[in-house]
Amino acid sequence: MTRDGAWCSQRTTTFQGRSRNLPLTIPGPAIASLSDLNLKLYDDECSRRPARIWPSGTYRRSVRCLLISSFPQAYDLACGVLPNELLELTIHFFVDSYVRHTTPPKFSLMSPLSLASKGCRRTSLRIFFSRIIVTSQKQWNGVFKLLVAQTISDPALDSFRSGGSCHASALDWTSVSLSRRLNFFRQLKRLSTDFYREGLSTQHDRLKLILNTLNARALSCLCVLTLTSLPRTDPKMLRLIAQTLPGLEELYLSCIERLDFNSPWYCLQESLSCTIHSPIPSVCCDHLRLATSYANELTVLRRLSRLHIGVFLSDEQLLECHIDHAELVSDRVPSFDGCAICHESRDIVQRRESEAAIYMARFLPSLKSMGWSSLFHGPREQQSKSTTPGVEDDRRGKSCRLSTRVEIIRRNRSITCRRVE
């Protein structure tokens, strides 16, 4: 081998030495290929030992393995073991970049990686099942069967004895796919549920059934709860959540996913009749009393830092009047920014949102961020279909950020706010 690492044409097949400390020198250029190299060194006791090639062209015995190098220091040709931390980061990057983009995520994309080795299999399964997205009862049954099959094939992945289905920490699903098997998830930290198929009369019973199905350990570990497409958001529901999940840190509740602003105006009117989207003035006479009724039920959540209540603080008649404006223009509902008549209410609504956020911060000492659904902020386009990954994500159900967020600032025993979205 030359200094630059290139192989020469002349071959050398066998070298023998009789002395323990005697180096063997290559006569002439180096070998043509590694497969042609056959080095045999014999010491005085006739014991066979491997050899080491040094840059000068001399061979020295080594007790480890054959080393070939053209650099000042010899490097081992044996492959090292990849650290588990690096392997986990690589698999995590693959899952987040490729597998998660499919809706729902397909395990077939992870199958080749899970067959590479036992270590890759355990790591890939644990990462893949760390977040489970379920959209139907059939899919929920399939996911559970897959978890059971993996548990039987590898007892180390036993989710029912060690706690948590392959360490699942996030579960996104629709309420219609509810099953008693939910109690097997003992390490849940995030739970996202879509109530699109529920009505005003079934919402509370369905939520109570979900919370009662959760394992006691999951109730203590759960720190993020997301409920979308709610028919209404009332103090009764907030009381149930606060009493069942006292350790919540983030809570996202929203009703506006039921409103489809891309449909013709008569379809929007139908969805408005099935959702309590604007509780002012039919439920509460003003925004301060509404904020008080909400905050009184959430005072037990001492660690709650992020809260979003997806109702409009504008008057209920504002949407109906906006539809009347739309009938004069086209068959579709235009954005509120494009309506000159409704734009006059923008400052009033935004002032209500800020005042209500400050009022709720007085009851919730750990609150840092408060969000409301808003008709005067963010894109007005609606997505046809979307999932609800979690509180930190910008996409919520079928809405596309028809909301506003206010940052709570506490300074010198005074509370102020700053609009950030």
125 located within any domain: yes
User: Residue 356's pLDDT is what?
Assistant: 95
* H, E, C per residue of 150-161: HHHHCHHHCHHH
Confidence class of residue 126 from pLDDT cuts 50, 70 and 90? Answer: confident
Is there a contact between 114 and 120 (Cβ–Cβ < 8 Å)?
yes
For 156, residues 6+ apart whose C-beta sits below 8 A from its C-beta are: 122
Tell me the percentage of the chain whose pLDDT exceeds 70.
Answer: 61
107 located within any domain: yes
Q: How far apart are CA 355 and CA 346, in angstroms?
A: 14
Tokens, residue 114: 């899970």
User: Residue 136's pLDDT is what?
Assistant: 77
Residue 24: pLDDT over 50? no
109 located within any domain: yes
Three-state DSSP state, 17: coil
User: Residue 177's pLDDT is what?
Assistant: 60
Is there a contact between 373 and 403 (Cβ–Cβ < 8 Å)?
yes
Which has the closest alpha carbon to 129: 154, 194, 241? 154
Confidence class of residue 299 from pLDDT cuts 50, 70 and 90? Answer: very high
88 located within any domain: yes
225 located within any domain: no
Question: Whole domain around residue 118: which residue ranges?
Answer: 84-129
Output 241 or 146, whichever has higher pLDDT: 241
Which has the closest alpha carbon to 226: 171, 180, 185, 183? 171
Output 66 or 107, whichever has higher pLDDT: 107
pTM of the predicted structure, to 2 decimals? 0.69
214 located within any domain: no
Residue 99: pLDDT over 50? yes
93 located within any domain: yes
Tokens, residue 106: 């397909």
pLDDT tens digit string along 155-209?
555 444 444 344 567 777 776 666 667 777 777 889 989 998 888 888 999 899 8
Domain total in the chain: 1
For 143, residues 6+ apart whose C-beta sits below 8 A from its C-beta are: 132, 134
Residue 2: pLDDT over 70? no
* Side-chain-facing half-sphere of 404: CA atoms under 13 Å: 21
106 located within any domain: yes
pLDDT tens digit string along 314-362?
888 887 777 776 555 555 555 666 676 777 778 888 999 999 999 999 9
